Amino acid sequence: MEFSIIGYDPIGAWLKTADTMEELLPYRNTGGITWIQVKDVRDGNLLTPLIDCFGIHPLTVEDILDTQQRPKAEEFDTYLFITFKEARLRDEADAEPEVAQISLILTKDTVITFQQSSGISFDGIRRRILNNIGRTRRMGADYLAYLLMDTVVDTYFSALDTLGGRLEDFEDRALDENDAALIPDLQRIKQILLKIRRIIWPLRESLTTLLPPDSDLINPELEPFFKDLQDNVMQAVETVENYREILSGVMEVNLSALSNRMNKVMKVLTIISTIFIPLTFIVGVYGMNFAFMPELGYPYAYPIVWGVMILIVAGMLIFFKRRHWI
């Protein structure tokens, strides 16, 4: 587990890193804003100094340690607790989404973040604070919370973009009648969409509970930012739904392409059989060994039979053609 603390105010900013929480707590920026970052959360015991210092509720600690926690936001007496998940999807065709949980505690002047080891690094935000880029240093702890959440929500869009690219691939392949293995691949994409939706969907509700009229924790001045965040989450949800509809469209097209192709094959094969079976009968007739079969002795019988058979084939082909069977 890695602990670091960033203190900042409009005038300055500093960063300290340590292996235990005890060493860091004295560096809290009492006059300004403090951001405590806990990476690779595994052992609840190491969090004890933090828990005691901020009066964190035992259930919150449980939620922080449980990496299967459903995204949610909860208001406590002295702090606001939000837990959500990032989603990343590598560009390779078969990759599964990587999900990492981020928990965030927001008090009046402090933000504490808890991340899994595989999670996103918030290095960009750190740099902006330390180098005083943008307005972050001039704003409160709630603005920092907004920035962190916004960074995570952006991961959804890049994951969805990657997925959108795969979907387009499948859209092209769906009509290629030779590709029978598409259904399991499409089902896999569907599972990924389900997984991402389960991450994004509850976040939408959580954000609602952060904003008035449900809550008054966020500075009214920051409301447009959180509304914007909510808009983005909503847009991500809609993109997921949209992809699901496209996906089922692709499936339908693919199934109908496959069945079309099968039907064509069977039709051609059946037509070949249908043409030869009557001919086989005719040659069978003149293979009979009856003593009295006048045709057998007739000199032109053999070429006549050939002619008849060619006529039959031609007739059948014309008949099939007229009915648009071939």
One symbol per residue from 209 to 248: x for binding a second copy (CB under 8 A), - otherwise; what is it? ---------------xx-xx--x--xx--x---x--xx--
Smallest CA-to-CA distance from 182 within 259, 92, 254, 263 is with 254
H helix and E strand count, the chain: 9, 7
Min separation Cβ 248 and a second copy, Å: 10
Minimum CB separation from a second copy for residue 280, in Å?
A: 5
State which residue, 71 or 119, has the beta carbon closest to a second copy: 71
32-40, 46-54, 98-106, 188-196 -> range binding a second copy (CB under 8 A): 188-196
# binding residues, a second copy (CB under 8 A): 78
Span 95-114, contacts to a second copy by CB under 8 A: none
- Binding test (CB under 8 A) with a second copy, winner from 267, 308, 315, 321: 267
Binds a second copy (CB under 8 A): choice among 95, 180, 308, 314:
180
Residue 177: C-alpha distances to residues 172, 225, 255, 258 (Å): 11, 49, 9, 6
- Which amino acid does the sequence have at 102? I
- Nearest distance from residue 147's CB to a second copy, in Å? 13
DSSP letter at 99?
E
CA–CA distance, 36 with 111 (Å, rounded to integer): 6
Q: Which residue, 28 or 197, has its beta carbon nearer to a second copy?
A: 197
Q: Work out whether 133 is an interface residue with a second copy (CB under 8 A).
A: no
Backbone angles phi, psi at 202, to 5 degrees: -70, -25
Q: Is the dihedral of CA 226, 130, 140, 100 positive or negative?
A: positive
Q: Which two tokens stand for residue 228?
A: 């914007």
Pseudo-torsion of CA 51, 56, 60, 62, nearest 10°?
30
Candidate list 95, 127, 161, 325; residue touching a second copy; CB under 8 A: 325
Question: CA-CA distances (angstroms) from residue 41 to 64, 145, 201?
Answer: 8, 19, 24
- In the complex, least distance from residue 172 CB atom to a second copy, rounded to whole angstroms: 11
CA gap 82, 209 in Å, rounded = 10
Residues 276-305, interacting with a second copy (CB under 8 A): 276-281, 283-293, 295-302, 305
| Minimum CB–partner distance for residue 110 and a second copy (Å) | 20
Closest distance between a second copy and the C-beta of residue 250, in Å? Answer: 8
Sheet strand arrangement including 33-39: 13-18, 2-8, 33-39, 110-115, 98-106, 80-88, 72-75
Q: How far is the CB of 14 from a second copy (least distance, A)?
A: 28
Please select the residue that binds a second copy; options are 256, 308, 310, 314, rule is CB under 8 A: 256
**Residue 39 in the binding site for a second copy (CB under 8 A):** no
Tokens of 72: 């949610």
Per CB under 8 A, the list member of 31, 94, 172, 178 interacting with a second copy is 178
Cβ nearer to a second copy, comparing 19 with 62? 62
Based on the number of CB atoms within 10 Å of its own CB, is 198 exposed (0-12), middle (13-18) or buried (19 or more)? middle
- Smaller CB separation from a second copy, 21 or 236: 236
Among residue numbers 67 through 96, which ones bind a second copy (CB under 8 A)?
A: 70, 72, 74, 76
